[in-house]
């Protein structure tokens, strides 16, 4: 039984802890860490409680870690897990800056084995997975255009600066790379008055176009959508609901307030796949390298926002560990 410690007790830390307690086979929630012992105890529900993340990482009774603390702490905790030789599922982004993300990659390469998985859970979402299978099977021909929509009901109180790019748009960076099997090489970003929504257009090394709307204050709910246009057809997500309601002259469905209900199954599948992979000693999901690329692209897109100029996107060469 894999003994997992969770660092952080916010929305995602609490959800990861719940999954480990209730829905994942082969693992147990062994401990929870937060600066507040009371918050940690509320999430732990009987598991051990820590207020020092390094002590949790070093504890011999902890086999693997989940990092769901604030973004600025991710790289440091990932590096600590690598130093301890312990697998880690680290929430995205892997780091606050591309430089920090590259340090994680370099540390893992020096170690010579992959222990870091970055929590880009959309790779495990049934809708995205079905789209990827449709493209791989050649059903729509060569993909030439990807439309992404990423809308939140309202930006969280803790969102500041360019976080609509570095915390939200990073999801579209990662899933676009995964769906198309190509690398973005240029980007242009336009902001509506007031800075929200954003329209970001990227081109890939295969000549594909990725058009993404990021709207942090859409008002009506949390809504993610994607459509891939190919030379012989298209594939897109169906409505994210199991049922529709007919009432008072209307037909439709509701949208959740935030991302957790929409991607609950993706988070469950990601956690189970990670637990299984750790047990088998193999990597799964987005790698530290994928995390670095997403952060590096987001950083360059954010830098291009004030001018609106087209930016050439660059990343360090991919190490052989991630081939």
Per-residue confidence (pLDDT) for residue 15, from 0 to 100: 98
Chunked mean pLDDT (size 10), the chain, 323 residues: 97 97 98 97 97 98 98 97 98 97 98 98 98 98 98 90 94 98 98 95 98 97 98 94 89 92 97 98 98 98 94 97 96
- SS3 state at 90: strand
DSSP state of 199: E
Separation between Cα atoms, residue 111 and residue 109, nearest integer Å: 5
Which pTM value belongs to this model? 0.96
Separation between Cα atoms, residue 212 and residue 266, nearest integer Å: 21
Separation between Cα atoms, residue 215 and residue 196, nearest integer Å: 6
Kindly report the backbone phi and psi dihedral angles of residue 51, in degrees, each rounded to the nearest multiple of 5, phi listed first: -115, -5
Contact 165, 202 (CB under 8 A): no
Residue with tokens 């099997």: 181
Residue with tokens 């060469």: 317
Separation between Cα atoms, residue 229 and residue 241, nearest integer Å: 23
Q: Where are the alpha helices (DSSP H) in 64-160?
A: 74-84, 98-111, 126-136
Q: Set out the domains of the chain in order of their start, with CATH numbers.
A: 2-122+266-288 (3.40.50.720), 123-259+294-298 (3.30.360.10)
β partners of residue 287: 117
Per-residue confidence (pLDDT) for residue 241, from 0 to 100: 84
Per-residue confidence (pLDDT) for residue 128, from 0 to 100: 98
């Amino acid at each position: 039984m894999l003994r997992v410690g969770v660092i952080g007790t916010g929305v995602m830390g609490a959800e990861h802890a719940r999954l480990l307690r209730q829905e994942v086979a082969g693992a147990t929630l062994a401990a929870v860490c937060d600066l507040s012992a009371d918050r940690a105890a509320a999430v732990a529900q009987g598991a051990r409680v820590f207020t020092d993340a390094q002590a949790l990482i070093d504890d011999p009774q902890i086999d693997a870690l989940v990092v769901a603390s604030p973004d600025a702490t991710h790289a440091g905790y990932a590096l600590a897990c690598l130093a301890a030789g312990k697998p880690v599922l680290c929430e995205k982004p892997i780091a606050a800056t591309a430089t920090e993300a590259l340090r994680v990659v370099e540390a893992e390469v020096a170690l010579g084995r992959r222990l870091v998985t970055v929590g880009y859970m959309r790779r495990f979402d049934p809708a995205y997975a079905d789209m990827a299978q449709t493209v791989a099977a050649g059903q729509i021909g060569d993909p030439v255009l990807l439309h992404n929509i990423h809308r939140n009901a309202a930006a969280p109180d803790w969102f500041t600066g360019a976080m609509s790019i570095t915390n939200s748009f990073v999801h579209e960076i990662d899933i676009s790379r995964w769906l198309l099997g190509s690398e973005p090489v240029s980007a242009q970003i336009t902001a509506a008055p007031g800075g929200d929504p954003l329209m970001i257009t990227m081109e890939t090394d295969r000549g594909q176009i990725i058009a993404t709307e990021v709207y942090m204050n859409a008002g009506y709910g949390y809504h993610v959508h994607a459509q891939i246009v190919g030379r012989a057809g298209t594939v897109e997500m169906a409505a994210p609901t199991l049922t529709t309601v007919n009432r008072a002259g209307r037909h439709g469905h509701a949208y959740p307030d935030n991302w957790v209900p929409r991607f609950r199954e993706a988070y469950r599948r990601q956690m189970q796949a990670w637990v299984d992979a750790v047990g088998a000693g193999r990597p799964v999901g987005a790698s530290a390298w994928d995390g670095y690329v997403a952060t590096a692209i987001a950083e360059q897109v954010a830098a291009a926002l004030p001018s609106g100029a087209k930016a050439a996107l660059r990343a360090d060469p991919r190490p052989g560990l991630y081939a």
